[in-house]
């Protein structure tokens, strides 16, 4: 991904925006430190994939009772 400094971005903004709109995002940096990424407006961000680990992990039927005894002991009154 192309990185440009703020001065260069101001000078060539219309060209850079046209490139970003056509699928070539770029980074604007200040003193060499990346500050923002310019991407096309209609490009969706990275979405969380629901169920991407389906079949790879197994959740026990009683998962909501895990540690029940230890938790109960923490709340018992001590004499």
- Taking only the tens place, the pLDDT of each residue in 21-56 is 998 999 999 999 999 999 988 756 667 778 888 888
- Provide long-range contacts, Cβ within 8 A and 24+ apart, for 33-37: 34/3, 35/6, 37/1
CATH classification at residue 21:
3.40.1620.10
C-alpha angle 49/54/55, rounded to 5°?
160
Q: For residues 48-71, give the mean pLDDT.
A: 84
Q: What is the model's pLDDT at position 34?
A: 96
Q: What is the model's pLDDT at position 58?
A: 85
Q: For residues 4-24, give the mean pLDDT.
A: 94
Task: Provide the token pair at 10.
Answer: 């101001």
Number of domains within the chain: 1
Alpha carbons 46 and 8: distance in angstroms, whole number = 28
Q: Is the pLDDT of residue 17 over 90?
A: yes
Q: For residues 65-75, give the mean pLDDT.
A: 88
- Say if 70 falls within a structural domain: no
- Say if 44 falls within a structural domain: no
- Say if 74 falls within a structural domain: no
C-alpha angle 1/37/26, rounded to 5°?
35
């Amino acid at each position: 991904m192309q990185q440009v400094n703020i001065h260069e971005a101001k000078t060539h903004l219309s060209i850079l925006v046209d490139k970003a709109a056509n699928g070539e995002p770029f980074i604007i940096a200040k003193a060499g430190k990346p500050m923002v990424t310019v991407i096309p407006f209609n490009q969706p961000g990275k979405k969380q994939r629901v169920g991407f680990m389906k079949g790879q992990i197994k959740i026990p039927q009683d998962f909501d009772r895990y540690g029940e005894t230890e938790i109960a002991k923490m709340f018992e009154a001590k004499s």
